[in-house]
Copies of this chain bind each other. A is one copy, B any other.
Amino acid sequence: MSVTEISPLEALSRVLTDDMERVNVLIRARMASDHAPRIPEVTAHLIEAGGKRIRPMMTLAAARLCGYEGDAHIKLAATVEFIHTATLLHDDVVDESEQRRGRPTANLLWDNQSSVLVGDYLFARAFQLMVEPGNLRALTILSNASAVIAEGEVLQLTAAQNIATDEATYMTVIRGKTAALFSAATQVGPVIAGAPEAQVQALYDYGDALGICFQIVDDYLDYGGAGDGLGKNLGDDFRERKLTLPVIRAIALADAEERAFWDRTIGRGKQQAGDLEQAMALMARHGTLASTRQTALDWAERARQALAPLPDHPLKALLSDLAGFVVERVN
């Protein structure tokens, strides 16, 4: 990418400027509370910290790509951002995180109680918003996604520290915690547009593959990134004993001595200085960071191919480029 070129994300956000401005206005209006000022304080801290708004943009792009001309996509895009924000608040409580988007987390600035309850409020606001357009199929998709997200989070919690976790479990976790909201965000676009089933399926498949790719890249960068400027530190997942793809693959290829290392550091959480470096050396020895990168590339390609049934449209090309852009972070 040359210095004068803009990223596909930036290009998308320019094409969707008017819609996104309406989404942002709606988000600010609905994060208010008549009675509890703590709610907009906590929400604004997170929502105005410069998130990329990639999920609501997916809904807008999918709807417009299918020729949608109404207003419902604005409410559903705001719904998607509220669900995302609620899960971030609860995730940071569960992970005891101290940084998010380069700033102190809400649980640190206020307390866990506020994060739990404000998250609940945003979930409820999301449901109010999704009900308003009155499209029952969109409602079913988004409420199902909410359940799958929570299920993925619980599964991640119980799989953490368990070095027997396999790739199938990992896929279930990331499909839940990450891909389910991407695929719901893209699928509701053609649904409200009344697009043919092939397009509904195509945009579901695209969102699913993009979300999986996105999470695998994230998990790769936790070991392979040189700081991504997003407030995530190298090795956070290792310290939190999360079983992510590069680790799962390294454990699968471990000899007895290596297995003992993983059992001690991840299984029993007895970590000491030098362990992160040792973990990265083991992943390098078995090539699991490289193979994780390849898996991310494969999912990006799947996302691009999923778009085939869709009509030619400038947004189709941008969504295709976006899949490549997501995985570019690993280069």
Tell me the A residues contacting B by CB distance below 8 Å.
Answer: 33-39, 87, 90, 93-94, 112-114, 116-121, 123-125, 127-128, 131, 134, 136, 139-140, 143-144, 146-147, 149-155, 157-158, 172, 176
A39 to B283, CA, bound (A): 33
Note all chain B residues with C-beta closer than 8 A to A155: 35-36
CB distance from A94 to the nearest CB of B (A): 4
A153 to B123, CA, bound (A): 14
Most buried by B among A117, A119, A155, A158: A117
Query: Are B94 and A121 in touch, CB under 8 angstroms?
Result: no
A34 to B154, CA, bound (A): 12
Query: Are A116 and B93 in touch, CB under 8 angstroms?
Result: yes
Query: Are A124 and B149 in touch, CB under 8 angstroms?
Result: yes
Most buried by B among A125, A143, A154: A154
Q: Determine chain A's interface SS by DSSP, over half rule.
A: helix
A114 to B160, CA, bound (A): 13
Query: Are B36 and A117 in touch, CB under 8 angstroms?
Result: no
CB distance from A303 to the nearest CB of B (A): 23
Note all chain B residues with C-beta closer than 8 A to A144: 128
Please pick, from B121, B125, B157, the residue contacting A38 in the complex, using a CB distance under 8 A.
B157
A136 to B138, CA, bound (A): 13
Asked, given contacts A90-B116, A116-B90, whether A147 binds B125 with beta carbons under 8 Å apart, the answer is: yes
Nearest to A113 among chain B residues (CB) is B94
Note all chain B residues with C-beta closer than 8 A to A116: 90, 93-94, 116
A87 to B93, CA, bound (A): 17
Asked, given contacts A121-B151, A124-B150, whether A172 binds B35 with beta carbons under 8 Å apart, the answer is: yes
Please pick, from B38, B136, B146, the residue contacting A134 in the complex, using a CB distance under 8 A.
B136
CB distance from A232 to the nearest CB of B (A): 20
Note all chain B residues with C-beta closer than 8 A to A131: 136, 139-140, 143
A243 to B157, CA, bound (A): 35
A17 to B49, CA, bound (A): 52
Nearest to A169 among chain B residues (CB) is B35
Asked, given contacts A144-B128, A155-B35, whether A112 binds B112 with beta carbons under 8 Å apart, the answer is: yes
Query: Are A117 and B90 in touch, CB under 8 angstroms?
Result: yes
CB distance from A19 to the nearest CB of B (A): 24
A119 to B123, CA, bound (A): 12
Given contacts A94-B117, A123-B150, A128-B143, could you give 9 more A-B pairs where the C-beta distance is less than 8 Å? A33-B154, A36-B151, A38-B154, A39-B154, A117-B150, A117-B154, A124-B150, A127-B147, A128-B144
Most buried by B among A37, A150, A152, A153: A150
A136 to B135, CA, bound (A): 9
CB distance from A310 to the nearest CB of B (A): 27
Most buried by B among A39, A94, A121, A147: A147
A155 to B36, CA, bound (A): 5
Note all chain B residues with C-beta closer than 8 A to A38: 154, 157-158
A124 to B139, CA, bound (A): 12
A210 to B113, CA, bound (A): 28
Note all chain B residues with C-beta closer than 8 A to A150: 117-118, 120-121, 123-124
